[in-house]
Amino acid sequence: VSAAVGDLERLVAIEEIKQLKARYFRTLDDHDWDAYVAAFTEDAVMDLTEEMARHAGAAVDAGTDPVSKGRQAIRRFIAGALDGSVSVHEGHMPIIEITGPDTARGTWSLHDWVSFPDSQFHGYGHYHEEYRKVDGKWLISFMSISRIRIAWETGSPAATA
């Protein structure tokens, strides 16, 4: 794609970004917020405006700013949304484009299943992301989510061992 990046360097970067996003998912569902925010650049922006509109009144207080700037704001938002839940997030079929030696963008298909004490949902959509290489490590510098559908169920979730 970029004339400045050779095929091998490009494939190495794509695999590193896939593993970065895989660690993002592991730490997200472990609710290990220190490790989670380490996947982002210090100045990363997480824009969940569409996400908030879909989940209105659910997990996150209606007054919360849907755009988080920087690791601490991202941590606060995600911990507020997921603490107390059992969560499963999966990312599929990445399209990652290396746009320069230290920049990339990508999309992932998302499936998430999140259970709160008295409700749960299955959601489907896409991540839209930008990446930056900082000190030799790829990190997420921008993230937003669009949704195909979210199916909520109220009442106790199925018995879970």
Which residues of this protein are in contact with its own copies, per CB under 8 A?
Answer: 7-8, 11-12, 14-15, 18-19, 21-23, 25-26, 29, 54-55, 86, 88, 90-95, 107, 109, 111, 113, 115, 124, 126, 148-153, 157-161
Pairing verdict, β 40-47 and 137-154: parallel
Least separation in angstroms between residue 70's CB and its own copies is: 26
What secondary structure does DSSP assign to 5-45, as a single string? S-HHHHHHHHHHHHHHHHHHHHHHHHT-HHHHHTTEEEEEE
Least separation in angstroms between residue 98's CB and its own copies is: 11
The residue written with tokens 């190495």 in the block is 12
- Output 11 or 134, the one with its CB closest to its own copies: 11
| 52 vs 55: CA distance, rounded Å | 5
- Output 87 or 103, the one with its CB closest to its own copies: 87
- Closest-CA residue to 155 (of 115, 122, 124): 115
Q: Where are the alpha helices (DSSP H) in 42-96?
A: 49-54, 71-82
- Output 4 or 124, the one with its CB closest to its own copies: 124
Least separation in angstroms between residue 66's CB and its own copies is: 15
Least separation in angstroms between residue 69's CB and its own copies is: 26
- Output 47 or 50, the one with its CB closest to its own copies: 50
